[in-house]
Structure 1
Amino acid sequence: MLEVRGLRAGYGAVEVLRGIDLSVGRGEIVAVLGANGVGKTTLNMALSGVLPATSGTITFDGVALGASASMAVDAGLVHVPEGRKIFPNMSVRENLELGSYRRGAKNRARNLENVFDTFPRLRERAVQAAGTLSGGEQQMLAIGRGMMAEPKLLILDEPSLGLSPLLVEEMFSLVRRLNADGLPIMLVEQNVVQSLEIAARAYIIENGTVTMSGTSVEISANPELKRAYLGL
């Protein structure tokens, strides 16, 4: 579904991504893990066409990407950014409808019902200003907005960030449920343990390069990961 080869990108003279190789297959949850500042969000921005790559290739569903963000969305690669990035002064419904601005407009009403079925709390708060929602509800809204674009692949950037432990559990259950409905997901997270519990495969990024990859079982058993991320 997604093939990334030799991807390099950065900001001005500062190179952040230093030759990233990764892939996401149809129906998979693939975790991209690493500490804050290793290049995860830069990777998402490059995949989404927000940040131009300096070299390497991004192929999504047989289409070469990287030229623009609109091209990525048109192809069905939808990115839910870190920090939710909702429109606080607009209603929940208006935020969701904006998700179908570029893609999914023909099925807006049907997709809106699907989002409300997935997130009943958003239905209850449809006319409420998005900025007055709780952190967990805002994250639901951000994901729901991404679903409105009828994604073929959903990139979730730190969906558990800033949530209480109970809401973190709920968020990971949601990711598993979306995937069970057939949606491939690239889960970009600092939460190593819970990400590995739901992902089929994982990549560990350090200093802009992939330092470890394999099945979640293999990664979980790796003594280097236990030392670096779990303190064992």
Structure 2
Amino acid sequence: MLEVRNLRAGYGAVEVLRGIDLDVTRGEIVAVLGANGVGKTTLNKVLSGMLPLSEGSVTFEGRSLGGSPITAVDAGLIHVPEGRKIFPNMSVRENLELGSYRRAKPNRAKNLEHVFEVFPRLRERAEQAAGTLSGGEQQMLAIGRGMMAEPKLLILDEPSLGLSPLLVEEMFTLIRRLNAEGLPIMLVEQNVVQSLEIASRAYIVENGEVIMSGTAADIAADPELKRAYLGL
């Protein structure tokens, strides 16, 4: 579905991504893993059209996205950003409805009901101001808002960041469930161990480059990964 080739991008004269190649195919959870500051969020911004690429190509379902967030959303590539980016003074329901502003508006009521089935706590808090939710509930809201656009591919940027261990476990269970329902997911995370447990394939990014890629099982067993990320 998603094909990235020789992707280079950055901010002004500072190059952050230095020739990234990666693919996501239908039905997969693909993990993009790396420490803070290696370029993961920059990659997501380029894929969703919020940051221009300086070289290379991004193709989604055989079509160039052209560096436009409108084109990306209309094509069904939906990015749930790091830090949730909800609208705190709007209600939970209003935040969710905004998820279908560009895409899937005719199915808004049906998709809203589906989100409430997946996240019963959001149904309970539908009229509550989003800014008053807990961190875990705000992450549910951010993902639910993404689901409202009927994504063909969902990019999740650090969904476990700032959550308690119990909520992290719940979040990864949810990601597995969404994928089991047929939704391909690109999971961009610092949480290496749990990401590799649910992913089919993975890429390890360091200093703006992919330094390792393969099946999640092979990467999890790689001694270099254990040395670099797990301290073993």
Short-chain TM bin: over 0.9
Aligned twin of 1:90? 90
SS at match of 1:193: helix
Aligned twin of 1:106? 106
Paired AA for residue 188 in structure 1: V
Aligned partners of 1:159 and 1:171 also within 8 Å: yes
1:28 aligns with 2:28: yes
Q: Spell out the pairing of 1:54-69 with structure 2 (5 A cutoff).
A: 54-69=54-69
Paired AA for residue 193 in structure 2: V
Aligned twin of 2:39? 39
Question: Aligned partners of 1:99 and 1:126: how far apart in 2?
Answer: 15
Q: Spell out the pairing of 1:192-207 with structure 2 (5 A cutoff).
A: 192-207=192-207
Question: Aligned partners of 1:145 and 1:202: how far apart in 2?
Answer: 25
Q: TM-score, normalised by structure 2?
A: 0.99
Aligned twin of 1:136? 136
SS at match of 2:115: helix
Question: Aligned partners of 1:135 and 1:30: how far apart in 2?
Answer: 25
Task: After TM superposition, give the deviation of residue 109 of structure 1 in Å.
Answer: 0.4
Task: After TM superposition, give the deviation of residue 65 of structure 1 in Å.
Answer: 1.1
Identity %: 83
Deviations 1:173-212 (A, max 9, x none): 0000000000000000000000000000000000000000
Question: Aligned partners of 2:194 and 2:185: how far apart in 1?
Answer: 15
Deviations 1:125-148 (A, max 9, x none): 000000000000000000000000
Aligned partners of 2:51 and 2:67 also within 8 Å: no
Q: Which runs of 5+ in 2 are unaligned?
A: none
Which deviates more, 59-68 or 95-104? Answer: 59-68
Aligned twin of 2:210? 210
Task: After TM superposition, give the deviation of residue 169 of structure 1 in Å.
Answer: 0.0
Q: How many residues align?
A: 232
Paired AA for residue 161 in structure 1: L
Paired AA for residue 173 in structure 1: T
Paired AA for residue 120 in structure 2: P
Paired AA for residue 201 in structure 1: R
Question: Aligned partners of 1:217 and 1:93: how far apart in 2?
Answer: 39
Paired AA for residue 7 in structure 1: L
Q: Which runs of 5+ in 1 are unaligned?
A: none
Root-mean-square deviation over aligned CA pairs: 0.4
Task: After TM superposition, give the deviation of residue 67 of structure 1 in Å.
Answer: 2.5
Aligned twin of 2:165? 165
Aligned partners of 1:48 and 1:66 also within 8 Å: no
Task: After TM superposition, give the deviation of residue 66 of structure 1 in Å.
Answer: 3.3
Aligned twin of 2:53? 53
Question: Aligned partners of 1:42 and 1:88: how far apart in 2?
Answer: 24
